[in-house]
Every structure is written in structure tokens, then in C-alpha cells.
Structure 1
Amino acid sequence: MEDSSRIRKETVHGQPQRTEQILQRSQQLQQPTQYLMLFSIGPVQEFIAQARKTRDLWFGSYVLSEISKKAARELSEVHKAKMIFPYLDQNMTKVELDYLRVANKVQAIVTTDNPRQVALDVKRAVTFKWLDYANKAKKRLGDSIIGPMWERQVKDLIEFFAVWSVLEGKYEDVLKQTEQLMAARKTLRDYRPNEPANRFGDAKSSLDGGRESVLKTGKYASYAGFGIKPKEELDAISLVKRLSRFIGHEREFKSVCDVAFRQFEDEVRKPKNLKMKDKVDSFYRDIREDLKEYLDVSKLAGGKADTYDSRMFYPNRIEEAITELMTEQQASTLLIEKWPEKMTQSITRKLDILYNEIKRRPTSYYALIVGDGDHMGNCLRGMSTVEEHQKFTEQLSRFASQVDSIVTQRYAGQMIYSGGDDVMALLPLHHCLDAAGEIQQEFIHIMKQAVPEGTSLPTFSVGIAIVHMMEPLEESLQLARSIEALAKVRRDSLAIYFQKRSGSEEMKVSLPFGDQPVETINKMKSLYESGYISSGFAYALRQLHAEYMNLQAHKTVLQEGLGELLLQEVRRLIIRKKPAHISTDNMVGEVLPIFAGLQELGEKSHSDSLALLHRLAEQCVIAITLEKVGGTDGTQHTDSAS
């Protein structure tokens, strides 16, 4: 990338014989030239992760997507750029454009005589887009915030990097050069002078210790309806996210509570459970009657009369729900009288009676899924033409749309983010495995159409963290990302993590998608539900693997025929752990086929057969744990024992 500063340096530093050539080159650069321009917009991970509510988490990723989309539209509509990433079709409807999700990377070919001005225009558009969200939130809060501190924090958020190269020669070489420029640019930081503000004695934000809270003390009644808890301190950025549904984003959004509750709700609504549904409906009608004297109960469950408000089924969520349904005038009176606390106690007593009657209670766990394409950089660098790159990004946009449909429509989850090859979503426990498997299959299907012939197909890795709804979202997200990283060690894998909130033994395993882990775990769940296998069998498999690993370490086991030996050991465990009401032949016929691969791998490598035994043992433990935690086995599970 050449500019006038380089020309000045070459002129000044002792090369008079080249002055005429340099001036000619300068004149050429003033003519419209094709540039490959690359933009990176942030902050990303830390901005998204700073969240207490799931809606905070979603809105953080949504805002970044909308800001990046604004950059793309500025390039496409104002500067008539040929967009490479994201894919923008001129025939897109407004609805399609609204639902388009964009990563924080924007790439385009721009014909201009001043690429720097193009970059400044894009930066201005991005900044104004962010300020539009911030100003709407500020207007809604009125005089309940510290204005100067708000302005300073809002102005200081956006990170914007832009680089460009003249599009000469092979496209793939120019792309590589431009990406190297971006990597170099990101090593530099823009340091702005601090603006005056009160910095001594100010409370720090609960979600971002690097920023001060902009909330005024003694104003909680003004904040209660916005979902701000007593004594919660929030900075300007966190408040913009918290107020998302009050600034034009009132679409239905499932909280972690809603997602976890879905498994219980599905059970209640099964035709065979009509008596259970009658009891649950009766409880729900009673609490609506209790609340309607003070609150607008039509707002429960987002105003849907045929849907339960999940928060009313969890004692630790009831008070928060009641408080959010109060107006500011009600809050100033009812909070003093501690009415929400008294009503919470009353509803909790009725809830205990309900759970004792139906012998079931909803799980407090949900699945946080994070997925990412493997070897995407190598694949992109292999694109030899602009057209190939555009086709690839078009298919990535299609994948993002398909993932949204899989998560929200097929499996009753909540999409947090789907842009490019990155996926983040919340799912009920009983759907998380099927959703992960279907997302992975959809990615492979779409990549077959996106990648040019002769280029190796990217794969997809998924991390599933099974977490408790009361765990801080930021910590849950960090955990999910660490599990995704475990899956990406092998690539093309599914990694699962679970540890009960009571602090029991953690379960962590990485499973190659080639082993069909979703089908295997679902089969094991079905066998557990039918009584063919038990927790004792699952942990006995773990013990069997540990014993043979110890024998191998001391070289006291024959390598030849190890796979067949392991299969016979598993058969012995199946018979030893079988229930009295199931015949031996039936038991072996149902369970043993899952372990047939032990013998096949053992003929090739004893270490492979031991590794497979370990994976199967962990899948068995996870399958049974998912059934127990979800409470779908018909027994009552408390949070501490689930």
C-alpha cells in the first residue's frame, strides 16, 4: 500500500534521479484505482461476554453485527463497492437484510482515488450507528444517570481498523498481503486523551471493572422496571445492552430460565401427562390471581396467554419477575413495603406443594453451545478469484440463516450469534445434542457447495457446556469457549462439559464426529430410560478402561486380540449389571452392538481400542447424566442432586 507519505520520504532521502518517476506515480494514484479494502470492527469477545442477563449477551453480539452491517452498506450503497464479506445481494428484501448477521470483518473491492477517505466515511457511519443505540438508551433513562461519565464511556467504545492494497496481480496474493497489513495494524492502538470525569470514589460497574457505574444512588425505583437489580452498578455500555427491549428491540427473547424450563414444559404438555398439566395450570391460574391486584399480569410470559412464565416455577427467579412487572410508581411504594419478598414466599409455598404432587420439577440446567469452522483461513486463502470468494461468503450467509432456523424453530432454543462460521446458542438439555449434530451436518452440506473443486472441505467443531442458570453468564461463556477449544484440538469434534453446581466430579470429553457421537449418546439415553443400563454400568466402564490402561502401562497385557478381549469384558459387565426382569439374550442384544467397534479397532491398534472404550464410557456417563439432570426419567430431582 503506497501513499503520499512514502512518496515524500523517497523524494527527500537522496534519490533526485527518481523524482520524476515518483511524481508520475503520485499522479497515477490520484486516478480511480481498484483497492482491496479490509475492515475490522470491535471490541468483540469482551464486549459480548459482559452480561448478567441472556438478553445482554444477545444484544452485545447483535449490536456488533448491526454495526458491521452498517459498514458493509456504507461501502456497497455509497461507494458502490463490490462486497466480498459479508455477502450482500442487491435483490435482498428488507426482511432478509434485517435478519442478516455479520461478523466483525468487512471486505470489499472499492474503486476510488482516495481510499483513506472511504475508510473515514465507513468509520463515521459505524460510529453514528453505535451512538444511535446509546442515545436511545440515554433518552429512556433521563436524568437517572451521570451524563458526562456516560458520554465519555460511549465515545470510547468502538475499535476500528482499516487497511487496503492496490488490486494488482493475483487476487490471492493481494488478499494475503492485505491480511498481513491488518495483522500489523492491530499491533498498534489508538491512544486518546482522557476527558475530565470523577474518578475517585465512584463505584465500579458490576459487569466491567474497567468502567465506573453511571447510575445515581437512591434511584432504584427508577431502574426496577428495566431489570436492574438493587445495588447493581452498571456502566453506560452495559446499560445500552440492558435496555435493548426499551429502545426498539422488543422481539421475543428466551432467557436462560426459559430455555432450561422448556424440557419440563414439553413433558407437561405430552398427551399422557394430562393430569400433570391440569395441576400445573391450576397453580399458574392461582398465582396470576394473586398478582393481578398489583401488577399487569398480561405481561407475564410476554403477554402470551397459552404460555407459562418460566420464572414463576423457580423460587430464586420469582422476585425478579415481580419487580420487573412493577411500574415506577408502584415500585416506590411496594419496594418499601417489601411486597415482592412477601409474594415470593407465598408463591414458593404453592410451588413446593405442586412439585410434591406431580413428583417432578424443572431442571435448572441448560446447554450453551459454541461452534466454529475448522481450517477456514486455509480455505479462504485458497480462493484464487474474487468470484470464488463471493460465492463462499454467500454460502456462509446461508449457513447462518439455516442455523438460526435449526436452533429457534426446530429445537426451541435461543440464538445468540450466527455470523460466518461462528455459532453461539442456548438450548434445552433434551435438544442440545440433536441440535449440535444437525448444525454440524448443515455446515458440511453447505461447504460442499461453497468450496471450489480441488480444495479440501472445512470441518466444524462444537463445544457444549451444560451450566446452571444461576452461574454468571460471563463465566459460563468462558467455559463454553474453553470446551470449544478442546473440540478444536482434534478438529471435526464434539466436546461436552458438565459439572453439577454442588461441586461433584466434572465430566469432560471430546468426541470425533466420525464416531457418530450424537447417535451413540441418544441410543444410550434410550437404553437408560428403558432400564437396560444404569449409572453403575457407566462407571464400571470407566473403571474397566482405567484397569486396562494400568495393565498396558506395566506391559502386563497381551496386545494381540486386545479389542476382542475388551468386547468380552464389556459383555461380562452387561450381564453382571442387568436388571432381573430383562433376559440375558435381550440385554446383550440391545447393549453390546454399541461396543462392536472395540473389536474392529483392536485388530488395527490396541491403543485405538482403549481410546474408543474411554470415549464410549464417557458418552455413557454423559447420556445418563443428561437424563437425570433433565428429570425426564420420571423421578424428582433437586438442583443439588440432579
Structure 2
Amino acid sequence: MKKYLFLFTIGPVQSFIAQARKTHDLWAGSKILSDLIEYAIYALEEKVKTCKIIFPHKEIKSKPNRFIAIIESDDPKGIGMDIENKVKDQLKKLSFDIVKKYANFDISEIFFEQIENFLEIYWVILPYEESDYSELYGKIEGYLGSIKNIKRFRQNSLDCVESYRKCSVCGQREALFYRKSDKKPRNISFQAQEINEFRLNQGESLCGICFIKRFYKTKSSSFSSTAKIASLSWVEKLTQVEIKEYKDFFKNFGEELFFDENLRKEHLIKYDHYKDDENLEKAKKYLNNLYKKYGVPSKYYAIVMLDGDSMGKWLSGEFLSDKSHLRDFHLELSKKLGEYTDKTKEIIEGKGELVYAGGDDVLSFVNIDHLLFVMKNLRDFFPKFEEIKNVKNRNKSSASMGVVIAHYKMPLSEVIKWARKMEKEAKEDKKDKNKKDKKDKKDAFAIAVLKRSGEIHKIKYKWYLNGKSTVDIIKSIVKSIIDKNFSSTFTKVLADELRRFKYDVNEKFIKSECKRLLKRASNPNEVSLKSNEIEELSDKLLDLFVESYSLQNFISTLNIINFLSKEVGELNDN
């Protein structure tokens, strides 16, 4: 039997994951693709006795949407077709099981069409020789790109009928399941079925694919809502007795009920929380007492997206001194990324929810009390590819991150778009015009704060400024304000001053104004005790100004520091 290099991918990725109304939709989209790749690898190993998975590492739980393997076979095309068909059958099976369990009706033909036409599976197989791995890897990636450029188009029989209602989540496919509100939604086709399940919002209509995401592993897996992520650190202050007593006022409890704005009869009825008027009034009084005792929980949470920089170049062997060792490099790289996946779970645990960690990319929801800790640790523990044998000198791995902080009620799809936008901005080259270092790109983070009022603040920084952690610099300033060493007013006043000056600002002015405003913002009776701290914080603000990509970037930094100092309950260091 001959050896072959086998590259197998499953899609669509971004659209499938990003089309989400609930956090569970987002998690399920990622989990389904990961589970299908896991199944494909399992099916390949069952089918082919001699099979070596090169990438990703088998221990990675949240697998990326592709794998590359070396196989032995007399019928390589048959192997590819067989694995593709088995993956499609696996999706049909889990879809059938979910619909029979939660919908309990005769499944329509259009449902099977939507499932059948959804997956985009591409694979390439090339004859393999040990000495040709590097050259073959380049070819196989090129062939895959060419195949993907030939777009397959399959029209579902009802999706072309504009008079029928489209799915509330994706807006693309025909709605086949709905939950009525006061009356049956208009334009629902005769094949659509009513589902009286709290996982569907009243009036919501879902296609087959989005229905599968909504109900995927709901019994064995539960993904936190944005309200739960936002209130996470506040709820930790409550005793178990207090939590139980408060939950008892409601029929079905949801973490959004920790926010008093939701203690309205119409809201409770709509989401199946309502018991009666007496329990509602008791709940309002009880929550008010909790606020007096523990303060008010923040209504904001964060989405964090991290992605390894220049991964295509690393995988192609561009940074290796000898490409003939590319296969060994891939194996070692796969191992390191597998270890990083485990570390990622450890970093996020108890601080939010991990959607996926597929090696070099991470997506997670994070409580803002823990945000700066999570950001720093995800970057600090990103694997050092330069430690792998055969990497050229001066080539070092790095990662860029996009962060968005949003109100828990903001539409999730919009927040995800912003997270991807900030990740893209972090990777863009926005170096200062006065700097001549052309390598000054990527290895950065970008943050956007989307305030409920509609106000937006955006910043971007390199991870390290003169050898010091940028996140630590921001964190120390926020901590000084939270600890009431200084009033947050100095950031607002400085930002207002800089807006008037526009571009005519120098370092001497910034340092002088920072010291003056910090002195005014500190306790008058303790100024002498704080002189060293004033000097230290002034230096840190100056570092942020000097290394900022623009004056507006620095002004937004001051606004975000001010925002965090008000919203963060207690900065967490572990």
C-alpha cells in the first residue's frame, strides 16, 4: 500500500459560530464542528490501520475545523469519500435525535435538505514520500485553497420562496420551528411546527440548523448566559442560603433576575419566571437588601478572542532554518498547542466561560472583574514556538487579541462582530508615523467598550511597553482608583483637556498635567504620603501616552480606565 498526505476540513466556520442569539448557540456552533472533526479522525483511524495524525494534537478537546494525517491505502479517493459521507451521516443522526426528542413530529423533507446542504467539506489527498513533506504540505494547502474558490451552491426547495418566514437567527434558511407569542407568527410555512419550549423565545422562529444548535447537548451541557457572566463575581459574595431564598421567589430562575430592571411582571411571564404578585414584591425587597449589603452587580461582561500571529507562515515552515524537518516541527507544534489548550481552560475556569480553545485560537466570555488577569495570562502562556528545534534566530511566536466589553442585554451577534473587528484591528499595522520599525505590528491587543448609552471607546496597544506589561500598567492605575487612593475624576479631566489640544501635545505636558491632576484627585490630608505613588502613576500614564498609536487612542484609554474603575467590583489577581 502507498502512503498519502490527507488534509480534511469542515465548514462553514465563522458564520455557523457567529450566527447566535444566545450564548448556547455560540458554544454549540463551535462544539458541533469540533465534535464532527473528532468523529472524522476516529472514523479515519477505524478505516485505515496505518494512520498518523499530524495536526491537531489528539488531546485537544476543542479541535479546529481541520486535520492533516499520513495514511496508507490502496484507495485514497475512496477513503476521502467515505470519511466525508460518515461525517454527513453523523450530523444527520444527531439532528434526527434532537428533533425527535424535542419536537416529536414527523420530520419534513425540507429539514433533511437543510441538514444535507449545510456542511462544506473539502479534502485533498496527495502521494507521500518522507523526504517530500515540506513540498507536499505547500501543495496540499494550495490545492485546498483552489477547491474552496469553487463555490458549491445548493438551493433548498422552500428557501427560494420569499413569502415564507426566514430563521430568526441566521436569516437565511426557511423557519421550520417556532414558539408563538400572542398568536402564530405570520408567514410561517405549513411545514413549520410549534415548539412550546422555554429555550425558544416567544415569537422566535428557527431553521433546522439553528434549532439543532439551540438544543445540542442541553441536558449534559449548560452554557452561561451573558447575565450570568456579568454577575458572576457579585454572586460569589452571596451565601448559598441567600441564593436559594431569592431563587424560591420564581418559577424558573435565570441570572438576569439579579438585575432589578428585570423584576417586571411582563418580563417574568414572557420568560416563564412568574409565580404570583406576592412573590414578585418579596423578590424586589429581597434583592434591594442584597444590593445594600453587597453593592450592585455590573451589567457588563467581556468577550475575548485570541489568535496566534502568522500561523500560516509557521505551518508552512517559513521560519525554519531547514524545511526538511517540517513534519517534526508540526508534531512538536501540535503538542505545544495542545498543552496551551489545557492551560487556557485553567486560566478561564471560574472567571467566565470558554467557548473554544482550538490550539492557537481562543474564544471566551469573561467577567470584567477578571478581564485584565485573563488577558495577560492568555498572552503570557501562549507557547513559544522559537523553543522548538530548527527555528531560525529572532523568529518568535506571538498572539493578538480582540476584546469587547458590552452590556448583557446587547444583541449577542453584534457583540461577536465587534470582538472579531477588534481582533482584526489588533493584527493591523497601525504604528506611529514617527517610528521606523516595520516589524511593529501584530502581537497586540485591542479593546472596545460598547456602553449602553451608545458611546464607544476603542484602544490598541502592544502587549509590552519598554519591557513592561501594558495590561499591568492599566491594571495598576484602575486598582489605585478602586482602592480609593485617587478619584477617577482625573482621567475625565485629562481626557477633556486633551480633546481641546488635539495634536499639539508633548510628553512634558502630559507628565506635568498627570501629576497636577493626580494631586488634586488624592486625599488632601495624605498628599505627602502619596507623593511617590503620584510620581509612579504619572510615569505609567506617560508610558501609555508615548506608546499610544494616536492621541485619540490615549484619550480613549483614559475613558476606559475610568469605565473599569466604576464597573469593576474588585480586580482579581488569580
1:187 to 144, 149, 156: 149
Pairing partner for 1:530 from 451, 459, 483: 483
Counterparts of 1:126-205 in structure 2, within 5 Å, are: 126-143=87-104, 147-168=108-129, 169-192=131-154, 194-195=156-157, 199=161, 201-205=163-167
The CA distance in 1 between the partners of 2:69 and 2:123, in whole Å, is 11
Distance in 2 between residues matched to 1:472 and 1:47, nearest whole Å: 17
**Alpha-carbon deviations, 1:462-511, whole Å to 9, x = none?**
1110011111111111111111111111311121110211223x211011
Indicate how the Cα distance of structure 1 residues 230 and 217 shifts in structure 2: closer, same or farther if over 3 A, else same: closer
The equivalent residue for 1:312 is 257
Distance 1:631 1:609 in 2: 28
Q: Give me the whole-angstrom Cα distance separating, in 1, the residues matched to 2:177 and 2:471.
A: 47
Change beyond 3 A, Cα 1:600–1:184: closer
Does structure 2 retain, via aligned residues, the 8 Å contact 1:461–1:491? yes
Q: Could you tell me whether the CA contact under 8 Å between 2:403 and 2:448 is conserved in 1?
A: yes
Structure 1 position 234, deviation (Å): 0.7
Is the helix fraction higher in 1 or 2? 1
State the 1:598 CA deviation.
Answer: 7.9
Distance apart, 1:256 and its partner CA: 1.4
Deviation of 1:137 after TM superposition, in Å, equals 1.0
CA contact (8 A) 1:263 1:430 kept: yes
- Equivalent of 1:61, from 30, 46, 58? 30
Conserved in 1, the CA contact under 8 Å of 2:28 and 2:213?
yes
Q: TM-score, normalised by structure 1?
A: 0.75
Secondary structure of 2:64's partner?
Answer: coil
Partner SS, residue 177 of structure 2: coil
Superposed, 1:334-345 pairs within 5 Å as 345=280
2:54 to 73, 84, 87: 84
Residue among 17, 21, 26 paired with 1:52: 21
* CA positional deviation for 1:224: 3.8
2:71 matched to which residue of 1?
A: 110
**Structure 1 position 256 matched with structure 2 position 231:** no
Distance in 2 separating the partners of 1:217 and 1:322:
15
Structure 2: which amino acid aligns with 1:626?
L
Output one character per residue of 1:49-85: Cα deviation in whole Å (capped at 9) or x when no partner. Answer: 1211111110110000011112222223322321111
Bigger shift: residues 221-230 or 365-374: 221-230
Which has the larger Rg? Answer: 1
Instruction: Give the alignment of 1:414-493 within 5 angstroms.
Output: 414-444=353-383, 446-450=384-388, 452-454=390-392, 456-489=395-428, 490-493=441-444
- Check whether the contact 1:165–1:174 (CA below 8 A) recurs between aligned residues: yes
Instruction: Tell whether the 8 Å contact from 1:82 to 1:109 is kept in structure 2 after alignment.
Output: yes
Please give the alpha-carbon distance, in whole angstroms, between the structure 2 residues aligned to 1:54 and 1:407: 16
SS at match of 1:527: helix
Between the aligned partners of 1:367 and 1:570, the Cα distance in structure 2 is: 29
Are 1:567 and 2:522 an aligned pair? no
Aligned to 1:636: none
Distance in structure 2 (CA, Å) of the matches to 1:600 and 1:348: 48
Q: Deviation per CA, 1:301-354: give whole Å up to 9, x if none.
A: xxxxxxxx623313566777877779xxxxxxxxxxxx5685885466335643
Q: How do residues 166-565 of structure 1 correspond to structure 2 at under 5 angstroms? A: 166-168=127-129, 169-192=131-154, 194-195=156-157, 199=161, 201-215=163-177, 223-246=195-218, 249-266=219-236, 268-269=237-238, 281-282=241-242, 284-285=244-245, 288=248, 290-291=249-250, 310-315=255-260, 345-346=280-281, 349-350=284-285, 353-354=288-289, 357-358=292-293, 360-382=295-317, 384=323, 385-408=326-349, 411-444=350-383, 446-450=384-388, 452-454=390-392, 456-489=395-428, 490-504=441-455, 506-515=456-465, 516-543=469-496, 545-546=498-499, 549-551=502-504, 563-565=507-509
Determine if the alignment matches structure 1 residue 626 to structure 2 residue 564. Answer: yes
Query: Contact 2:304/2:364 (CA < 8 Å) preserved in 1?
Result: yes
Contact 2:198-2:272 at 8 Å conserved across structures: no
State the 1:624 CA deviation. Answer: 2.7
Amino acid at match of 2:308: G
Determine the structure 2 residue equivalent to 1:640.
none
Cα contact 2:352–2:367 (8 A) shared by 1: yes
2:534 to 591, 594, 597: 591
**C-alpha distance in 1, partners of 2:285/2:389?**
58
Task: Give CA-to-partner distance per residue, 1:120-144, whole Å, 9 cap, x none.
Answer: 0110121122122201111113445
Does structure 2 retain, via aligned residues, the 8 Å contact 1:464–1:497? yes
Residue 225 of structure 1 aligns to a residue in which SS?
A: coil
CA contact (8 A) 1:145 1:216 kept: no
Residue by residue over 1:539-564, the C-alpha shift from the partner in whole angstroms, topping out at 9 and shown as x without a partner, is: 33334545665336xxxxxxxxx544
Aligned to 1:121: 82
Distance 2:178 2:255 in 1: 31
> Following TM superposition, by how much is the alpha carbon of 1:394 offset from its aligned partner in structure 2, in angstroms?
1.6
Contact 1:534 1:624 in 2 (8 A): no
Paired residues of 2:229 and 2:352 also in contact (CA < 8 A): yes
CA contact (8 A) 2:110 2:156 kept: no
State the alpha-carbon separation in 1 of the partners of residues 243 and 81 from structure 2. 59
Are positions 1:100 and 2:61 aligned together? yes
Partners of 1:600 and 1:236 in 2: how far apart? 53
Paired AA for residue 70 in structure 1:
Y
TM-score by length of 2: 0.84
Q: How many angstroms does 1:593 deviate by? A: 1.6
Secondary structure at 1:205 match in 2: coil
CA distance in 2, matches of 1:480, 1:487: 11
The partner residue of 1:579 within 509, 519, 523 is 523
Distance 2:106 2:565 in 1: 47
Q: Is the 8 A contact 2:515 2:538 kept in 1?
A: no
The runs of 5 or more residues in structure 2 that have no matched partner are 185-192, 429-440
Closer, same or farther: CA 72–343 of 1 in aligned 2, 3 Å? farther
d(CA) in 2 for partners of 1:212 and 1:233? Answer: 9
Query: Could you list the per-position Cα deviations for residues 422-479 of structure 1 after superposition, in whole angstroms to 9, with x for gaps in the alignment?
Result: 10000101001101110111104x5354464326122011111001111111111111
Query: Over aligned residue pairs, what C-alpha RMSD do you find?
Result: 3.2
Partner Cα distance (1:600, 1:320) in 2: 48
- Cα drift, residue 356 of structure 1: 6.1
Q: Residue 340 and residue 49 in structure 1: after superposition, are their counterparts in 2 closer, same or farther (change >3 A)?
A: farther
Alignment partners' CA distance in 2, 1:600 and 1:257: 35
CA contact (8 A) 2:22 2:412 kept: yes
AA aligned to 2:296 is R
Q: Which amino acid aligns with 1:84?
A: I
**Alpha carbons of 1:599 and 1:347: their partners in 2 closer, same or farther (altered >3 Å)?**
closer
How has the CA–CA distance of structure 1 residues 325 and 140 changed in structure 2, closer, same or farther, with 3 Å as cutoff?
A: farther
Tell me the amino acid that sits aligned with residue 625 of structure 1.
F
Please say if residues 488 and 565 of structure 2, whose CA atoms lie closer than 8 Å, have aligned partners that are also in contact: no
Could you tell me which amino acid in structure 2 is paired with residue 228 of structure 1? L
Residue of structure 1 equivalent to 2:431: none
What is the one-letter code of the residue matched to 1:623? I
Structure 1: state its 5+ residue gaps. Answer: 1-31, 89-95, 270-276, 301-308, 327-338, 553-561, 602-606, 634-642
